[in-house]
Amino acid sequence: MDVKTWLKQAKTQIDSLDAELIALRSFAPSRADRSWLVAHGEKKVEALRTRADGMLQKRKAGMPLAYVLGEKEFYGRKFVVKPSVLIPRPETETLIELVKGLRLPKQPNFLEIGTGSGCIAITLALEYPQSIVVASDLSSKALEVAERNDLQHEGRVELVRSNLLKDFDFGEYPEHFDVVVANLPYVNKDWAWVDERNLEFEPSNAIYARGNNGLSVYQRFLRELSYFGGSDGVWVDYLVLEADPCQHSKLIEMARKAGFVHLKTEGYGLLFESTWRYWYDYRAKGYIHKPERVLMKERETGKISFIEEELGSLEE
């Protein structure tokens, strides 16, 4: 059998583009594009057919193409995906855009909670080559995939297994994160527009959250995050979250109670700034100002106080 014949019969069974992508993956060299299929239509593929046929059967059974091919593009880069991780979604790229819209130091510290394939954390590490990036997930299997992706993309992300923030030993990490990003499970199975059959191949603990109209995991996360300002805590400046637009107003209210002011909405993404942003500048080793008010934390005692006027930068 040649490429052209394999494709012809595959296209009678699945979507034409999917058939071409499976053929490319099975028969062509790794960097080839679809024009290769036309140029090599006569190429004999008998020896490679078993793999291609296996992929065809999986796709026919409804498995998402990303799992069939074992990869998905996110923010212009390829990531390995397996059924233990959520397939990265185009709408999640907005979270990267929200971060990139911020004025951040040259060496920002990022924390991502619920990293799955690692696509967000790894993208941030690559977009900010001098950053420190820590990323976590509850699922060990997801972390294995994230680790594989990280190694393929410079290996700059520190991966941690943790139930939200509970199992972190923050003594080991920066005490100040410029941005915390989270795309946690938020789908409510009861929503009329949710077709569970479309999501059945993906890990349900990456998608669904029970209770509070899908916001129960975010509720827990925000409660934990609100303790971050404690004396042995970690300081956060910005928070970027993804949720369904129907949940945004509730999530904004929950975040406000946890000490985060809503700054911006972009698609599914929400950007917040911490009201406890107290402005101890670790680089300058001094307190710096925030125009509308100044919060100071004494390093030794952890005591926090307001100062009304602008201080400007104070060297220690």
Ligand X SMILES: C[S@@+](CC[C@H](N)C(=O)[O-])C[C@H]1O[C@@H](n2cnc3c(N)ncnc32)[C@H](O)[C@@H]1O
Residues that bind ligand X (CB under 6 A): 85-86, 88, 92, 113-117, 119-120, 136-139, 142, 163-164, 183-185, 205-206, 217
Provide, rounded to whole angstroms, the least separation between the CB of residue 194 and ligand X: 14
Provide, rounded to whole angstroms, the least separation between the CB of residue 138 and ligand X: 4
Provide, rounded to whole angstroms, the least separation between the CB of residue 40 and ligand X: 34
Q: What is the rounded distance in angstroms from the CA atom of residue 6 to the CA atom of residue 159?
A: 42
- Label residues 97-120 b or e (16+ Cβ within 10 Å = b): ebbeebebeeebbbbbbbbbbbbb
Provide, rounded to whole angstroms, the least separation between the CB of residue 101 and ligand X: 18
Cβ closer to ligand X: 14 or 164? 164
Cβ closer to ligand X: 7 or 143? 143
Cβ closer to ligand X: 66 or 113? 113
Which amino acid would we find at residue 183? N
Query: CB of 194 within 8 A of CB of 188?
Result: yes
Tokens of 157: 């992300």
Provide, rounded to whole angstroms, the least separation between the CB of residue 74 and ligand X: 7
Nearest of 236, 144, 242 to residue 184 by alpha carbon: 242
Query: CB of 98 within 8 A of CB of 178?
Result: no
Other C-beta atoms within 10 Å of 264: how many?
Answer: 13
Cβ closer to ligand X: 14 or 86? 86
How far is C-alpha 266 from the chain's CA centre?
15
Provide, rounded to whole angstroms, the least separation between the CB of residue 239 and ligand X: 15
Q: What is the rounded distance in angstroms from the CA atom of residue 161 to the CA atom of residue 138?
A: 6
Cβ closer to ligand X: 109 or 136? 136
Cβ closer to ligand X: 3 or 114? 114
Query: CB of 311 within 8 A of CB of 288?
Result: yes
